Amino acid sequence: MNEVEEVITTINTAANATTADVVTKTAAHGLSMLEMFMQATLTVKFVVLLLAACSFWSWTIIFAKLSFIKKLKTKADRFEEIFWNSGSIEALYNSISSTDDPFIVVFAAGMKEWQRSHHKITSVLSWLSTKDRLESMMRIAIGREIEHLEKHLGFLATTGAIAPFIGLFGTIWGIMNSFEAISLDQNASLISVAPGIAEALFTTALGLVVTIPAVVAYNKIFAEINSYQNRLDAFVEEFSATVSRQLEDSNIYTHSK
């Protein structure tokens, strides 16, 4: 009986020593995010820094775009109010100065074509031709303004698409390090595989942290730009109707009779 007790005591002592050794090594290795980064391989460090840079630039684009679109909406509300309350589109055109407001840019494109062509209108047919050119010039201006608004959105789309795979690459590399540790230590204990697994999970989580905001923000900004473009398209129709009404009021078609 004493021999059995001695064996049990020996086993317990060895287990306690092993546990203490594991705890000591784990504490020495460290599993905080900063410690994991500092102790990671160069490849994993590069993956983490790349994802961090993508995240920083993504948030910069997100805040800049949302703030800019909000300002454009405020300017659009103000311009449309002035447009509908103005007595003459010529007077309104002469009162505005050069600006980067897309509504005014589109309005100016239409007015320039109107001023070049309105004196040539002597019939309904000539007005339809002028109307087509006028709307065409305004829609070209819209295309340029929307292209400017969509600048850098491609980065958000690309980040949302590839960030998970960059994180997955770090995950695979961390798992490879775990197997390497098992091979070197000749055991599959937790202390051997924990660092590599921690690196793997860390890069996976970081990839998702970068991806999710980029995808959500891209969809949000794209929807906002699409809504703003619809307002510009509607303004083209409003401007064309205003010009047509002004022609009718001036009885310009009587010249052809």
Tokens 């305004």 belong to which residue?
138
3-class SS of residue 209: helix
**pLDDT at position 87:** 74
**pLDDT at position 170:** 82
pTM of the predicted structure, to 2 decimals: 0.75
**pLDDT at position 26:** 44
Taking CA atoms, 224 is separated from 69, 72, 145, 231, in Å, by: 8, 11, 14, 11
**pLDDT at position 194:** 64
Torsion over CA of 244, 250, 254 and 255, rounded to 10 degrees? Answer: -100
DSSP of 170-202? HHHHHHHHHHHHHHHHTS--HHHHHHHHHHHHH
Mean pLDDT by 10 residues, the chain (257 residues): 47 43 45 65 83 94 95 92 83 80 91 78 68 88 93 93 89 76 63 66 88 95 95 91 75 49
CA–CA separation, 46 vs 66, rounded Å?
30
**pLDDT at position 216:** 95
Alpha helices in the chain (DSSP H): 2-29, 33-39, 42-85, 89-95, 102-117, 124-149, 153-185, 190-250
CA–CA separation, 26 vs 24, rounded Å?
5
**pLDDT at position 12:** 46
3-class SS of residue 87: coil
Number of residues in the chain: 257
DSSP label at residue 120: G
Tokens 């003459």 belong to which residue?
88
Tokens 């505005």 belong to which residue?
96
- Measured between its terminal Cα atoms, the distance across the chain in Å is 128
Tokens 């630039």 belong to which residue?
57
Tokens 């994993």 belong to which residue?
44
Mention every residue, 6+ apart, whose C-beta is less than 8 A from residue 50: 166
**pLDDT at position 196:** 65
3-class SS of residue 151: coil
